[in-house]
Amino acid sequence: MRIYRHYYDLLEDHRYGAIAIGNFDGVHRGHREVINQAGKYSHEQGVPWGVLTFEPHPRMVFNPDEPPFRITPFHTKARHIEDMGVEFLVVLHFDGELAKITAEDFVEQVLVGGFDASYVVSGFNFSFGHKGAGNTALLREMSDKLSFTTNGIEEVLDDDGEIISSTRIRQYLAEAKPRDAAQLLGRWFEIEGRISLGDQRGRTIGFPTANIVLDTNTRPAIGVYAIRAGLDRGPDTVWHDGVANLGYRPTFDGDKCLLEAHLFNFDQDIYGAHLRVALVDFIRPEQKFDGVEELKAQIKRDCSQAEKIFSAENN
């Protein structure tokens, strides 16, 4: 998948394409329906398949003091979009200048002038242009005049008839319900990042950990999770069962939020590597222990509980 940072420098092979437009934070089942509609048109009409998105997320520009909320930082979002088979991704830098462009000018300058788009699809609640004035209705209104086809995807519902949304996913994660979040995502929720060198205390007590400092990810509930983790190799990532503590390490008076992942039957030196950690199930809240021996005993119980979870899944 080719990634562009501007709308005006597309290769000829990527012009006149089918474009899905949206923020796509999470690339959840609803987002995938929008992107796949562009893919369907692409395959039927023999035109390129592309996605248009924005970085940073507009909420980060309009509400810079908001707590971290992103389900998929850009690297993760791009990987999931590429895995769908999309041919090119256009990532527009979202700032005050882009926010001032009227919705009509955005259609004319970007979608038509930049892409020569033959088909544009968005979700039912996506808005664009100055003060969010653009929507699916405006796209339909302008499509005949500017000679492109458009479609607005209705809300995608889960098995209980509720709308699949990024907001609900964040809520489930905050409520320590990673399985419910996974149902909406269509995959496990992942935290990923570069493995940092910690104090190596876990190794001294028999439970070495790979540590990731949380940045702009949404914060799931603090606590201990059954996980699957693997070094990022795209579709060739090899996954390992394990257990992780997400929190502040109160037993050792920690002062920053870390994900400490202990992988079962794994002894490679992976400091500095990029690790993907999928949250499978919540085991317990984080707690402070009176000493190292009490902590070790609890970690053993956590590992045993995680192994039972994975055993039940595999049967």
- Alpha carbon distance 1, 282 (integer Å): 35
Instruction: Give the CA angle between residues 19, 4, 29 to the nearest 5°.
Output: 45
What CATH class is the domain 2-153? Answer: alpha beta
Which DSSP state fits 315?
Answer: -
CATH superfamily membership of 180-314: Riboflavin kinase-like (2.40.30.30)
Q: What is the mean pLDDT of residues 92-104?
A: 94
Q: So which residues are the catalytic ones?
A: 260
- Return the H-helix or E-strand segment holding 97: helix 96-100
Indicate if the pLDDT at residue 204 is higher than 70. Answer: no
In the chain, list all ranges with CATH 3.40.50.620: 2-153
Indicate if the pLDDT at residue 203 is higher than 70. Answer: no
- pLDDT given for residue 313 in this prediction: 80
pLDDT band with cut points at 50, 70 and 90 for residue 198? low
Indicate if the pLDDT at residue 67 is higher than 60. Answer: yes
- Locus of tokens 């028999």: 206
User: Among residues 153, 121, 151, 192, which one has the least CA distance to residue 29?
Assistant: 153
pLDDT band with cut points at 50, 70 and 90 for residue 273? confident
* 130 close to 101: Cβ distance less than 8 angstroms: yes
Instruction: Specify the 3-state DSSP secondary structure of 153.
Output: strand
Indicate if the pLDDT at residue 24 is higher than 70. Answer: yes
In the chain, list all ranges with CATH 2.40.30.30: 180-314
- pLDDT given for residue 201 in this prediction: 56
Indicate if the pLDDT at residue 255 is higher than 80. Answer: no
Give residue 103's identity as a one-letter amino acid code. A
- Alpha carbon distance 123, 108 (integer Å): 20
User: Among residues 143, 153, 189, 174, which one has the least CA distance to residue 28?
Assistant: 189
